[in-house]
């Protein structure tokens, strides 16, 4: 009944939507799972996650002009998403999801076969990972142990995949592991001061290849902002520097935010001082603080003020 | 009726996306994603590696990702205020109207605080193994560090397991952020989380283990959650032995530190992925066999879900 209602409503959205319906068969189920969160169970939610997950495979699979299968560097995302969506370790179940992916990507038979073959090899590799004997591994948090684990991992991968496949599936991941190890080595170095470590790690992040740098560029920008705030105590200098770094519009927005933050802090300090004076000079009722806060704050600001003062 | 309208809107939104538009944009959310770490998770030198490879995967799929900096150990409200200031600045720098918050462990309640006191800035709050209904491990450890307390038997084992776990992840350097370990531990006890839930109730289910949290809270924020339900998962994983010990504090599905039931918030995507508490953020060095869940894929799928919801 509910699905009928939904379908009718969506039909009203127009022919285009209906045409797309055939391209995205997972959507009605996803919607069904979402329509009644009050009665949802974890399996229902899983249904949503799984059905939605199938298009994930479309991230990196780029069909060529004749819709053949091309191995790209994002292929591991595709394979992992299919496994996650299948939510099963049964090969047939996973392959069913993969075939659905072939259909969505409109891969030709040969292209789909190539894709499925790669997935099967990937599954065999993932099973082999599980069967590695703990006794044969040098586990632990020491750098040398982690390096050794990653070396063993690479050996296993190379045993299952051609150089081309290895490069596409694990090339970037291996780079990320090496970079993370290098950062950890810097962080653990007994010969560097904290500032030196920070400078070296930041330099490493800023010199990553473009694609990897993109992942951290926004966070690094926020760190730049934090440094600007630390370096310049007067508002004017801060804003000039922020404008140089983030542009005029961002600087204007920052000016507003900083002004609001400072004003709220000042109000809090004033109230805290008033409260300190009150507790010294008179016997106060249990709800005195609440009354005092309500005189100065409303709504969510009042809730924040209560929370902050409780932990000061 | 409200849910039906929501469902129709969701469906309409889903249908607008054509497969060809996914290339490189699978997780290209409208609003930036802000990742928030858990207890002791943050080292201001190695912040980059807490959500290991998650920013890379989300960014590769089109998302703009921020890894927030809050105190590694402090009261939820203190961390929440730090996060709120961070979010305000992210919005100022980007010009975005809202953010999508994703918090792991203590990061779960932390993002809930921000969503509750500043809902106008938050599109969604996704809690990953959030300590939303306390942790028996925190209860036990908090009791264990009381003066004159005497832990015996299994309690001592769990306490030791937690100490080993802390040893593995310490090295955490808070930089200039204020740290209060006792306040952090207290914040994660069952008693304190219940108080916290009463003050910031949005998205919470009606009872422990219930699955009826609102997808869209009364404040207009979307709420989601997922968590692992395994303690020992991988021979590569140095945290497994410690988490296997802390897992003894539970008599129900858990990830070593948080029970599946305690993690529930809003729309529960799944509460028993084959991951332990550190696997959930792809620690350590993210090696997963077929019988585990790849946590990075879970984050990317969540990015896609947020995108499909227009968030």
Taking chain B (311 residues) in consecutive chunks of 10 residues, what is each chunk's mean pLDDT?
A: 45 35 77 90 71 92 93 90 97 98 95 98 97 84 62 56 55 62 82 94 96 96 92 54 59 80 95 84 70 87 96 98
Nearest to B55 among A172, A194, A216 (CB): A216
Q: How far is B153 from chain A (nearest CA, A)?
A: 27
Res A248: pLDDT = 97
Q: How far is CA B168 from CA A58, B88, B248, B281, in A?
A: 38, 33, 19, 15
- At residue A209, does pLDDT exceed 60? yes
User: Does A187 share its domain with A248?
Assistant: no
- Are A198 and B65 a contacting pair at CB < 8 A? no
- Are A42 and B268 a contacting pair at CB < 8 A? yes
Pick from A27, A215, A241 the residue to mutate for testing the B interface (most B CBs within 10 Å): A215
Res B269: pLDDT = 95
Res B19: pLDDT = 28
Helix (H, G, I), strand (E, B) or coil at A83: helix
Which chain A residues are closer than 8 Å to B81 by Cβ?
304, 307-308
- Are B236 and A254 a contacting pair at CB < 8 A? no
Cα–Cα distance between A239 and A250 in angstroms, integer? 10
User: Does A28 share its domain with A114?
Assistant: yes
Phi first, then psi: give them for residue A93, nearest 5 degrees: -65, -45
Tokens matching residue A143:
């750098």
**CA-based nearest residue in chain A for residue B32:** A218
User: Does A45 share its domain with A166?
Assistant: no
User: Does A106 share its domain with A149?
Assistant: no
- Are A41 and B8 a contacting pair at CB < 8 A? no
Res A56: pLDDT = 36
Nearest to A42 among B55, B56, B211 (CB): B211
- At residue A103, does pLDDT exceed 70? yes
**Of A70, A105, A132, the domain-final residue:** A132
Which chain B residues are closer than 8 Å to A186 by Cβ?
45
Q: How far is A109 from chain B (nearest CA, A)?
A: 19
CA A143 to chain centroid, in Å, comes to: 26
Torsion, CA B244, CA B249, CA B254, CA B258, rounded to 10: -110
- Are A27 and B14 a contacting pair at CB < 8 A? yes
Tokens matching residue B11:
């469906």
Each residue of A122-169: pLDDT tens digit?
Answer: 999 988 887 665 544 445 557 787 788 888 889 999 999 999 999 999
Q: What angle do CA B188, B190, B194 make, to 5 degrees?
A: 100
**Average pLDDT for chain A:** 77
Which tops the pLDDT comparison, B73 or A240? Answer: A240
User: Does A121 share its domain with A150?
Assistant: no
Q: How far is B30 from chain A (nearest CA, A)?
A: 15
H or E stretch at B128: strand B122-128
Res B12: pLDDT = 40
Structural domain containing residue A276: 235-310
Residue numbers of B annotated as active site: 105, 255, 277
Cα–Cα distance between A108 and B47 in angstroms, integer? 44
User: Does A293 share its domain with A181?
Assistant: no
Q: How far is B283 from chain A (nearest CA, A)?
A: 11
User: Does A13 share its domain with A126?
Assistant: yes
**Of A64, A99, A132, the domain-final residue:** A132
Nearest to A27 among B11, B267, B288 (CB): B11
Q: How far is B225 from chain A (nearest CA, A)?
A: 10
Q: How many C-beta neighbours within 10 Å does residue A31 have?
A: 26
CB A201, CB B46: distance < 8 Å: yes
- Domain count within chain A: 3
- Are A304 and B287 a contacting pair at CB < 8 A? no
Which chain A residues are closer than 8 Å to B47 by Cβ?
219
Q: Which class does domain B31-308 fall in?
A: alpha beta
Which chain A residues are closer than 8 Å to B17 by Cβ?
20, 24, 55
Res A243: pLDDT = 97
Res B161: pLDDT = 60
Q: Select from A165, A166, A168, A154 the least CA-distant residue to A60.
A: A168
Q: Select from B170, B161, B126 the least CA-distant residue to B295.
A: B126
User: Does A10 share its domain with A63?
Assistant: yes
CB A26, CB B9: distance < 8 Å: no
Pick from B228, B236, B268 the residue to mutate for testing the A interface (most A CBs within 10 Å): B236
Res B243: pLDDT = 58
Q: Is this complex scored with an ipTM above 0.90? A: no
User: Does residue A216 lie in a domain region?
Assistant: no
Res A11: pLDDT = 35
Res A33: pLDDT = 34
User: Does residue A90 lie in a domain region?
Assistant: yes
Res A144: pLDDT = 81
Nearest to B8 among A9, A198, A310 (CB): A9
Nearest to B290 among A127, A177, A249 (CB): A127
Pick from B3, B4, B5, B8 the residue to mutate for testing the A interface (most A CBs within 10 Å): B8
Residue A58: band (very low, low, confident or very high) from pLDDT cuts 50, 70, 90: very low
- Are B88 and A261 a contacting pair at CB < 8 A? yes
Q: How far is A71 from chain B (nearest CA, A)?
A: 14
- Domain boundaries defined on chain B: 31-308
- Are A27 and B15 a contacting pair at CB < 8 A? yes
User: Does A162 share its domain with A201?
Assistant: yes
Q: How far is CA A43 from CA A40, A47, B246, in A?
A: 8, 6, 27
Residues paired with residue B102 on neighbouring β-strands, in sequence order: B35, B126
Cα–Cα distance between B42 and B56 in angstroms, integer? 18
Which chain A residues are closer than 8 Å to B270 by Cβ?
42, 45-46, 49
Helix (H, G, I), strand (E, B) or coil at B37: coil
Between A and B, how many residue pairs show a Cβ–Cβ distance under 8 A? 278
Nearest to B290 among A34, A74, A130 (CB): A130
- Are B93 and A250 a contacting pair at CB < 8 A? yes
Res B151: pLDDT = 53
Q: Among the ranges A35-44, A191-200, A206-215, A237-246, which has the highest mean pLDDT value?
A: A237-246
Which chain B residues are closer than 8 Å to A35 by Cβ?
3-4, 6-7
Which chain A residues are closer than 8 Å to B259 by Cβ?
none
């Amino acid at each position: 009944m509910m699905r009928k209602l939904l379908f009718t409503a969506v039909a009203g959205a127009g022919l285009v939507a209906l045409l797309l319906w055939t391209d995205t068969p997972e959507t009605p189920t996803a919607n069904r799972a979402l329509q009644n969160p009050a009665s949802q169970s974890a399996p229902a939610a899983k249904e949503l996650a799984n059905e939605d997950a199938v298009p994930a495979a479309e991230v990196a699979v780029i069909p060529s002009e004749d819709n053949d299968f091309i191995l790209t560097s994002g292929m591991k995302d595709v394979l992992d998403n299919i496994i996650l969506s299948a939510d099963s370790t049964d090969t047939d179940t996973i392959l069913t999801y993969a075939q659905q992916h072939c259909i969505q990507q409109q891969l030709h038979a040969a292209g789909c076969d190539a894709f499925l073959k790669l997935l099967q090899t990937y599954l065999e590799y993932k099973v082999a990972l599980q069967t590695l004997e703990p006794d044969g591994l040098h586990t632990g948090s020491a750098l040398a142990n982690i390096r050794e684990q990653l070396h063993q991992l690479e050996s296993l991968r190379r045993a299952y995949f051609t150089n081309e496949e290895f490069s596409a599936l694990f090339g970037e991941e291996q780079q990320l592991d090496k970079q993370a190890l290098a950062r950890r080595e810097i962080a653990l170095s007994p010969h560097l001061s904290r500032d030196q470590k920070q400078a070296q790690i930041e330099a490493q992040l800023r010199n990553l290849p473009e694609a990897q740098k993109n992942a951290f560029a926004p966070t690094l920008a926020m760190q730049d902002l934090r440094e600007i705030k630390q370096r310049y105590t007067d508002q004017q200098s801060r804003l000039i520097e922020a404008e140089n770094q983030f542009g005029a519009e961002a600087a204007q927005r920052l000016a507003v935010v900083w002004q609001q933050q400072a004003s709220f802090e000042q109000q809090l300090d004033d109230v805290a001082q008033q409260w300190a004076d009150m507790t010294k000079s008179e016997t106060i009722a249990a709800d005195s603080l609440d009354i005092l806060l309500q005189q100065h704050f409303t709504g969510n600001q009042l809730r924040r003020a209560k929370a902050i003062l409780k932990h000061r | 009726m409200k849910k039906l309208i929501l469902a129709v809107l969701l469906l309409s939104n889903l249908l607008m996306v054509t497969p060809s538009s996914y290339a490189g944009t699978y997780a290209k959310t409208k609003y930036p994603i802000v990742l928030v770490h858990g207890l002791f998770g943050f080292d201001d030198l190695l912040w980059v590696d807490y959500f290991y490879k998650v920013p890379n995967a989300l960014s590769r799929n089109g998302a703009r990702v921020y890894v927030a900096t809050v105190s590694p150990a402090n009261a939820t409200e203190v961390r929440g205020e730090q996060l709120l200031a961070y979010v305000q600045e992210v919005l100022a720098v980007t010009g975005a109207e809202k953010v999508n918050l994703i918090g792991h462990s203590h990061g779960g309640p932390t993002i809930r605080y921000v969503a509750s006191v500043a809902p106008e800035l938050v599109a969604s709050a996704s809690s990953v193994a959030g300590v939303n209904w306390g942790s028996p491990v925190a209860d036990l450890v908090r009791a264990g560090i009381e003066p004159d307390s005497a832990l015996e038997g299994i309690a001592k084992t769990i306490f030791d397991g937690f100490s080993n776990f802390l040893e593995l992840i310490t090295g955490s350097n808070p930089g200039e952020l204020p740290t209060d370990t006792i306040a952090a531990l207290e914040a994660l006890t069952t008693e304190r989380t219940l108080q916290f839930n009463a003050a910031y109730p949005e998205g919470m289910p009606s009872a422990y283990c219930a699955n009826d949290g609102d997808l869209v809270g009364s404040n207009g924020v979307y709420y989601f959650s997922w968590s692992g339900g395994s303690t020992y998962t991988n021979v590569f994983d140095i945290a497994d032995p410690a988490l296997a010990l802390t897992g003894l504090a539970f008599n129900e599905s858990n990830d070593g530190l948080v029970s599946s039931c305690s993690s529930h918030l809003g729309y529960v995507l799944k509460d028993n992925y084959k991951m332990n508490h550190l696997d959930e953020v792809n620690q350590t060095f993210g090696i997963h066999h077929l019988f585990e869940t790849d946590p990075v894929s879970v984050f990317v799928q969540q990015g896609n879900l947020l995108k499909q919801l227009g968030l």
